[in-house]
Chain A
Amino acid sequence: MRTYLLESKYELFKALRLPAYSLPTILFPVVFYVFFGVMFGGRSVGSVKMAEYLIATYGAFGVIGASLFGFGVSVAIERGQGWLEAKRTTPMPVSAYFFAKTVMAMTFSSAIIVLLFTMGTLFSGVQLAPMRALALFGVLVSGSITFCALGLCVAFIAGPNSAAPIVNLIYLPMAFLSGLWIPVQMLPKAVQKIALWLPPYHYSQLALKVIGADRGGSALVHVAAMVAFTVLFTALAYIGYRRDEGKMYG
């Protein structure tokens, strides 16, 4: 238990002492939100203010980024540099290592969402009931798990140097096509069909459901899709991990 806590604590210290990593991760989605929130500030999507709608979608965007980079790229780098192997010579449970990375991704996610709420409330007239805000926060943060799994998958399949470009190649197009930058109903019909197969779409629809701005799909379907993606990514990551071991251990 102590190992899990210490591992998480120092994972956070490690990241916080690297502002070149932590600041962009946190500020990127917030800057995006401020930019679009101001631009479309007065508009609304259905009965919901655009500024509130965008908290859900940019919140999702931020969480996905924090998870893919914080989990995927950092594991890929430590794996490539031999640090993960050094830890594997100790009796450390590997789960403690992954647990700490998840805690880190969720902490960064929380910071992003709190900042988005703050900006929205101060500058764009966002008025969410506390319970609703809390529910939105909960949905957004828990979605981090799916994208940590995707990050893990990339970490064990890609090399240490290619992990970051591969993550960007997945992250940005997937976010756009799922309607995280521009509401999905404003995208071309063909894109809307593709979105159904992307995890951020189901994730953002769940977040939007909390504030009554989703497209009316069943929450159960979205949750099932998220769970299925998580299982798929974890399985792929596990195959990559075994192959990694097999290359060495086989």
Chain B
Amino acid sequence: MRSTAIPLHPNAQPPAQFRAIRKQFDAVDALRGVDLTIRPGELVALLGANGAGKTTAVRILLGLIAPTSGEARVFGGNPRDAASRTRVGAMLQIARVPETLRVREHIELFSSYYPTPMPLAEVIEAAGLHGLENRLYGQLSGGQQKRVLFALAICGNPDVLVLDEPTTGLDVESRRALWKQIRAFIARGRSVLLTTHYLAEAEALADRVIVLHRGVIVAEGTPQQIKGDSATLEDAFIEMVS
């Protein structure tokens, strides 16, 4: 059993860490020297406009692309190693998921990739998929499809969850439902890195907000700190990036 709050032992490796990460695509500098650390039990929101470098950061953390320079670590290890991938669950922006598999089958298959997956019933419960187990993915609504992707991200019982714009395109109700599920995940002492361009989402969920603008971190702190004297996070954000 995990305790709800895991103190970081002085020698313990943080769930996720970037050291001076740069990433250059041809002529574009997607990331220009990014340092960040995600601690246990913490939800960090990576906030930025489209093209700020959020997805690039996520892909580097997941070991899908290599940084041009700098170092990305997951619990001190290379993100590409199977051991790292076992401890990280990811929800990416996917153009299309195979539609002719049932919800239950998708989860069963992804669970089989992990040594100690969550029981199916728990995954269904945690992702709010009750009653949809036998539906084909293609028959689900947009919100339900996102919940399946969330289920696939958590089914391996990961310690870190990486969510790349998880609520983009969702209606208010589905967004709130997913927030609830993300909070429940954090409540068990796990960590989450979430990218978003919804300021309300960062404000509602994050312990810490990192504002990324054109590949550099321009602000970092609790939602309150970032807001400062501005009336809303949105005002603060606009001021920061303009």
Give residues in A with beta carbon < 8 Å to B. 2-3, 6-7, 10, 13-14, 17-18, 78, 80-83, 85-86, 88-92, 248-250
Contact = CB atoms under 8 A, between A and B. Distances in A.
Contacts of A83: 94, 96-98
Given A85-B92, A91-B156, 9 more contacts: A7-B112, A10-B109, A13-B100, A17-B101, A78-B98, A82-B94, A83-B94, A90-B113, A91-B114
A151 to B, nearest CB: 18
B38 interface: no
A249 B90 contact: no
A6 B108 CA distance: 8
Contacts of A82: 92-96
Contact of A18 (B100, B105, B109, B113): B100
Nearest to A7: B109
A81 B85 contact: no
27 contacts: A3-B112, A3-B113, A10-B105, A13-B100, A13-B101, A13-B105, A81-B96, A82-B93, A82-B94, A82-B96, A85-B94, A86-B92, A86-B94, A86-B97, A89-B62, A89-B63, A89-B85, A89-B88, A89-B90, A89-B162, A90-B90, A90-B114, A90-B156, A91-B113, A248-B65, A248-B66, A249-B65
A188 B136 CA distance: 51
Contacts of A89: 62-64, 85, 88, 90, 92, 162
A14 B98 contact: yes
Contacts of B96: 81-83
A102 to B, nearest CB: 17
Contacts of B108: 6
Interface of B: 59, 62-66, 82-83, 85-86, 88, 90, 92-98, 100-101, 105, 108-110, 112-114, 136, 152, 156, 162
Contacts of A14: 98, 100-101
B49 to A, nearest CB: 22
Contact of B95 (A6, A81, A88, A90): A81
Contacts of B65: 248-249
A91 B85 contact: yes
A81 B101 CA distance: 16
A181 B29 CA distance: 54
B59 to A, nearest CB: 7
Contacts of B86: 91
- Listed from nearest, the 3 A-B pairs whose CB atoms lie closest are A17-B100, A248-B65, A89-B90
A137 to B, nearest CB: 28
B66 A249 contact: yes
A121 B114 CA distance: 48
A88 B64 contact: yes
Contacts of B83: 91
A250 B113 CA distance: 26
Contacts of A92: 113
Contacts of A81: 94-97
Contacts of A86: 90, 92, 94, 97, 152
B97 A6 contact: no
B92 A91 contact: no
Contacts of A7: 109, 112
A14 B112 CA distance: 17
Contacts of A90: 85, 90, 110, 113-114, 156
B62 to A, nearest CB: 5
Contacts of B110: 90
A84 B93 CA distance: 12
A88 B79 CA distance: 11
Contact of A6 (B64, B66, B109): B109
- Which of B108, B109, B162 is packed against the most chain A CB atoms within 10 Å? B109
B105 A17 contact: no
A30 B226 CA distance: 67
A77 B197 CA distance: 29
Nearest to B100: A17
A250 B68 CA distance: 7
Contacts of B62: 89
Nearest to A16: B100
A92 B110 CA distance: 8
Nearest to A15: B100
A85 B63 CA distance: 10
